[in-house]
Amino acid sequence: MGRLKGKTAVLTGGAKGIGAVAARLFGKEGAQIAILDYVGIAGEETARQLHGEGIEVAFFQVDVADRESVHAAAAQVLAHFNKVDILVNNAGITKDALLVKMDPADFQRVIDVNMTGVFHCTQAFLPAMLAQGKGKIINTSSIAGTGGNVGQTNYAASKAGIIGMTRTWAKEYGRKGINVNAVAPGFIETEMIHTIPAKVMEQIRLMTPFTRLGKPEDIANAYLFLASDEADFVNGTVLEVDGGMLK
């Protein structure tokens, strides 16, 4: 029996990268999957692939920074699956620059997607979880949110904000049967790191005791644990998955 058998899971940013890997893993563990993503073509292709693997899945195009878009998608998800047991707020973007060179529009867009998007999605799906008296919310932070990172004022601020929201919601809704936790990935082999120069990436590898970057599967497995019944007494936690990267 799968660890998520009978559950319905919503994954934002599920079209590719960590989100797509997590969607496949959750599906293989028995969950029905709702993929939410801004990128329509990639989202439809991922859903098609997962369906071909025997996973019950549906794709919903949404801009998590747009409140109306999020609530419309939530209504569609609930109409399609009738319930939501797990919400993984995985969607995120970067627009890096040193502080003095950062465009205010780039600062705001990262905040809007990475942090305000988590607020919108959680507000949209939480009522369904409260109605059934149980649910798992997993928010994606970052080691940039716990320790900062050069050139990422906007990203670090958004990911630090997610930690604050996670711990607040854990206190507000734990008594209602809702577990709220965060995962803070280190440097993971996804498209997001492709803009980092090779020389810098080598330094990053050497800062990690395992001397390698993380893989999307490493983060997906952390999501799976927090989404499962095994984590029923884990609440308000930030799980750092960074290979023990030296701070």
- Please report whether residue 208 resides in a domain: yes
What per-residue confidence (pLDDT) applies to 202?
82
Give the CB-side neighbour count of residue 46, counting CA atoms within 13 A.
30
Asked whether residue 1 is assigned to any structural domain, the reply reads no
Q: What is the pLDDT of residue 216?
A: 96
User: Is residue 34 one of the residues assigned to a domain?
Assistant: yes
Catalytic center residues: 155
**CB burial string 171-202: b at 16+ within 10 A, e below:** eebeeeebbbbbbbbbbbbbebeeeeeeeeee
pLDDT at 205: 80
Gap between the Cα atoms of 59 and 245, Å rounded: 35
2 inside domain: no
Inside any domain, residue 179: yes
Please check whether residue 3 lies inside any domain of the structure.
no
Residue 178 lies in a domain: yes
pLDDT value at position 67? 98
Number of domains composing the chain: 1
Domain that holds residue 218: 8-241
CATH of the domain at 152: 3.40.50.720
CA 119/CA 62 separation, integer angstroms:
14
Give the residue ranges of the chain where pLDDT is below 70: 1, 194-195, 246-247
Residue 222 has which token pair? Answer: 């952390």
What pLDDT score was predicted for residue 201? 75
Residue type, 202: E
175: in domain: yes
Q: What is the pLDDT of residue 197?
A: 75
